[in-house]
């Protein structure tokens, strides 16, 4: 068996808010991500799925357990593990092309080469004619695509996305999902995408990791055994949707109960 | 002209929004030029009205020309007024009547004190603000003192400045420096705090070092707000420099005003006030241009970092 792109072993995360009792955000997570695999993390809000991404990215430390990428334990952020946020977080003082080239400039790539890569990446995400625009001249969907280009310019082995399409309208969202699948195929990177949308999970994932309410644990891992492009009219699609709805309903109930108890 | 300085404020001239239909039919200007023309016309109308009322009061005998000489009187006697300006920047030199050249030199010296003070205050303010933000030991050590000194009026520093630096340019520059320094120090810390966390995450993921993150991400993110702080303190800097010149420099426009007051020369007072108003207006205009060129990603009147 090939070495997993990301290996998560008994990972847990505790927060200690100032002056209050520690909160167990994640508890005993274990699963692997194969190279080139598309994983969707699905769960009720507040279950710590975003925290897991931040820990894989190296922006947060684990409280227990071990995360390794390509066999190497994660100790600090790396350009090999790209992270895309709900907001595109492009720098408003740089043009789109310079935003995409930002990581390359940090790594002292020559300006001419930087520009070439930025142009190539922006063409790939369909923004070839937006090179010298300012970020706030772009629509939300375009900004998110530029953020993808910025991450892809670093040729990441793992691309993580924290509810990347949550702020977009429904039509844009559907188009962005198609776009993402195409990017995924082209780049060969593993993708870990956090969402609370069941449809997003079924349309995109190879495997869906379903989280429990806080403290987040892996409730179950469901392979989506449907050929792409996936049709929402497919009866099997419906079966998956019903299954996920049921799985999540329990967790949402628990999350509510816990909130009311507090 | 003093009305002009008051009118500009920090934003765009408010009356310009009114947008008078100026161009006759069949003659079209681009919207940008129309806006500029409209701003100009309203500016002239505003100052004209102010001067007109003043002239009217004089004509009706309410404004004593010895105490409140209206514009046409204090502007008519420019050669007579200019004899009080001196070409040299020496303390206590007897005015030699240097004419327009002397006026420009005096204006230039005063402007220089403002510009140098602002530039030093800005640069040092950002440096100190960033340092005490990042180095916890220095923050604990310095912040209480800074918070104690910050509310003290720059004018109160004047005696200190003279004790330490003597009479000359330095106390005036020091006072302007003080005017912006504390504001920039405190604002820098607050702005660094409010840089979106994701900007910093992006930089870290891309492998930026702390130094790169500061120069490439944090500084550009906070610069617009700091520049706004600078602009807000520009007029204060102009006020302070005149006081400093009156007492601690012995030359410059402040000194002229002071001399005009003690020699009861109302024409010279108003002439100098007009010049000061004009300089204040022009320096704000200049800062706005710098802002537009350097901070091009921010709309002109929008200061906050996003």
Structural domain boundaries in chain A: 86-172+182-196
Residue B25: predicted pLDDT: 54
Residue B183: is its pLDDT beyond 80? yes
Sequence ranges of the domains in chain B: 1-76, 84-294
What size, in residues, is chain A?
A: 262
What percent of chain B is predicted at pLDDT more than 90? 44
Is B202 in CB contact (< 8 Å) with chain A? yes
CA-to-CA distance for B270 and B252, rounded, in angstroms?
15
Residue A58 near residue A78 (C-beta atoms within 8 A) = yes
A114-118, A254-258, B138-142, B218-222: least confident range = A254-258
Q: Is A15 an 8 Å CB contact of chain B?
A: no
Q: Cβ of B220 and A91 within 8 Å?
A: yes
Q: Which of B196, B206, B295 has the CB atom closest to A103's CB atom?
A: B206
Burial environment of residue B34 by CB neighbours within 10 A (0 to 12, 13 to 18, 19 or more): middle
A106·B208 Cβ contact <8 A: yes
Task: Kindly state the average pLDDT of the residues B35-50.
Answer: 92
Crossing angle of helices B136-149 and B169-193, rounded to 10°: 130
Q: Spell out the residues 6+ positions from residue A130 whose beta carbon is closer than 8 angstroms to its own.
A: A96, A122, A138, A142, A146
Residue A195, pLDDT score: 92
Please say if the pLDDT value at position B224 is more than 50.
yes
CATH architecture of A86-172+182-196: 3-Layer(aba) Sandwich (3.40)
* pLDDT tier at B299, thresholds 50, 70, 90: low
Our CA angle for A194, A199, A200, nearest 5°, is 35
Distance (Å, rounded) from C-alpha B17 to C-alpha A260?
Answer: 53
**B93 or B96, greater pLDDT:** B96
Span A231-241, average pLDDT: 90
The yes-or-no verdict on residue A21 having pLDDT over 50 is: yes
pLDDT at B11: 41
Q: Is the pLDDT of residue B231 over 50?
A: yes
B84-294: which CATH topology? Answer: MetI-like fold (1.10.3720)
Q: In this predicted structure, what is the pLDDT of residue A20?
A: 84
CA-to-CA distance for B94 and B103, rounded, in angstroms? Answer: 14
**Is the CB of residue A93 less than 8 Å away from at least one CB of chain B?**
yes
Mean pLDDT of B120-146: 94
> A75 at the B interface (CB within 8 A)?
no
Contact B115, B284 (CB under 8 A): no
Percent of chain A whose predicted confidence (pLDDT) is above 70: 99
With CA atoms as reference, report the closest residue to A234 among A197, A203, A200, A193. A203
Q: Is the CB of B295 inside 8 Å of chain A's CB atoms?
A: yes
ipTM confidence score: 0.88
Count of pairs with CB atoms under 8 A, one residue in A, one in B: 61
Q: What is the mean pLDDT of residues B76-93?
A: 73
- For residue B46, pLDDT beyond 90: yes
**Pick from B48-52, B72-76, B241-245: least confident:** B72-76
With beta carbons less than 8 A apart as the criterion, state whether A190 and A5 touch: yes
- A60 φ, ψ to 5°? -125, 150
Average pLDDT, chain A: 89
The better pLDDT of the pair B232, B5 is held by B232
Band the pLDDT of A39: cuts 50, 70, 90. Answer: very high
pLDDT at B145: 94
Average of per-residue pLDDT across A98-104: 94
Say if the Cβ atoms of A92 and B306 lie within 8 Å. yes
pLDDT at B23 over 80: no
Interface residue A105 vs chain B (CB under 8 A): yes
* Residue burial B1-14, b: 16+ Cβ < 10 Å; e: rest: bbbbbebbeeeebe
- Torsion (CA) A156, A161, A164, A170 in degrees, nearest 10: 100
Contacts of B203 in chain A (CB under 8 A): 102, 106
Mutation for A interface: B200, B201, B202, most A CBs within 10 A:
B202
With cut-offs at 50, 70 and 90, classify the pLDDT of residue B94.
Answer: low
Q: Is B204 on the interface with A (CB under 8 A)?
A: yes
Q: What is the pLDDT of residues A136-173, one digit of tens each?
A: 899 888 999 999 999 999 999 999 999 998 888 888 88
* More confident of the two residues A258 and B92: A258
Interface test with B, best of A50, A84, A91 (most B CBs within 10 A): A91
């Amino acid at each position: 068996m090939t070495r997993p792109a990301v290996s998560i072993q008994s990972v847990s995360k505790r927060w200690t808010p100032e002056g209050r009792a520690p909160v167990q955000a994640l508890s005993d997570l274990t699963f692997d991500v194969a190279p080139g695999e598309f994983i969707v993390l699905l769960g009720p809000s507040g279950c710590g799925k975003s925290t897991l991404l931040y820990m894989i990215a190296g922006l947060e430390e684990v409280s227990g357990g071990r995360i390794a990428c390509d066999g190497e334990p994660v100790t600090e952020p790396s350009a090999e593990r790209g992270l895309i946020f709900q907001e595109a977080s492009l720098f408003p003082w740089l043009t789109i092309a310079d935003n995409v080239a930002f990581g390359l400039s940090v790594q002292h790539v020559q300006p001419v080469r930087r520009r070439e890569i930025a142009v190539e990446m922006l063409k790939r995400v369909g923004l070839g004619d937006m090179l010298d625009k300012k970020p706030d001249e772009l629509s939300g969907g375009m900004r998110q695509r530029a953020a993808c280009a910025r991450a892809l310019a670093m040729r990441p082995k793992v691309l993580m996305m924290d509810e990347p399409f949550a702020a977009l309208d429904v039509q844009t969202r559907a188009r962005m999902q198609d776009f993402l699948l195409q990017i995924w195929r082209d780049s060969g990177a593993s993708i870990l995408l956090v969402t609370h949308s069941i449809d997003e999970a079924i349309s995109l994932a190879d495997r869906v990791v379903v989280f429990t309410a806080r403290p987040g644990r892996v409730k179950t891992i469901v392979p989506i055994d449907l050929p792409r492009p996936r049709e929402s009219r497919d009866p099997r699609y419906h079966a998956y949707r019903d299954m996920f709805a049921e799985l999540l309903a329990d967790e949402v109930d628990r999350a509510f109960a816990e909130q009311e108890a507090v | 002209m003093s009305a002009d300085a008051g009118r500009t404020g920090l934003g765009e001239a408010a009356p310009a929004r009114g947008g008078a239909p100026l161009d006759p039919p069949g003659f079209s200007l681009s919207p940008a030029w129309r806006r500029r023309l409209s701003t100009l016309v309203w500016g002239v109308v505003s100052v004209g009205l102010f001067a007109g009322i003043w002239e009217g009061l004089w004509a009706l005998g309410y404004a004593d020309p010895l105490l409140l000489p209206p514009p046409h009187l204090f502007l008519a006697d420019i050669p007579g007024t200019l004899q009080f300006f001196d070409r040299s920047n020496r303390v206590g030199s007897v005015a030699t009547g240097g004419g327009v050249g002397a006026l420009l030199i005096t204006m230039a010296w005063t402007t220089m004190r403002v510009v140098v003070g602002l530039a030093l205050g800005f640069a040092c303010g950002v440096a100190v603000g960033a340092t005490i933000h990042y180095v916890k030991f220095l923050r604990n050590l310095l912040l209480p003192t800074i918070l104690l000194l910050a509310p003290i009026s720059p004018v109160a520093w004047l005696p200190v400045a003279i004790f330490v630096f003597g009479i000359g340019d330095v106390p005036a520059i020091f006072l302007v420096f003080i005017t912006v320094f504390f504001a920039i120090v405190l604002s820098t810390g607050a702005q660094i705090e409010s840089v979106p966390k994701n900007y910093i995450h992006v930089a870290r993921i891309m492998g930026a070092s702390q130094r790169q993150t500061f120069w490439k991400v944090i500084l550009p993110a906070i610069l617009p707000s700091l520049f706004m702080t600078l602009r807000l303190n520009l007029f204060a800097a102009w006020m302070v420099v005149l006081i400093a010149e009156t007492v601690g420099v012995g030359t410059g426009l402040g000194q002229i005003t002071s001399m005009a007051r003690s020699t009861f020369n109302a024409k010279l007072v108003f002439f100098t006030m007009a010049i000061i108003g004009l300089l204040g207006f022009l320096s704000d205009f200049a800062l706005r241009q710098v802002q537009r060129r350097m901070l091009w990603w921010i709309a002109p009147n929008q200061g906050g970092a996003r």
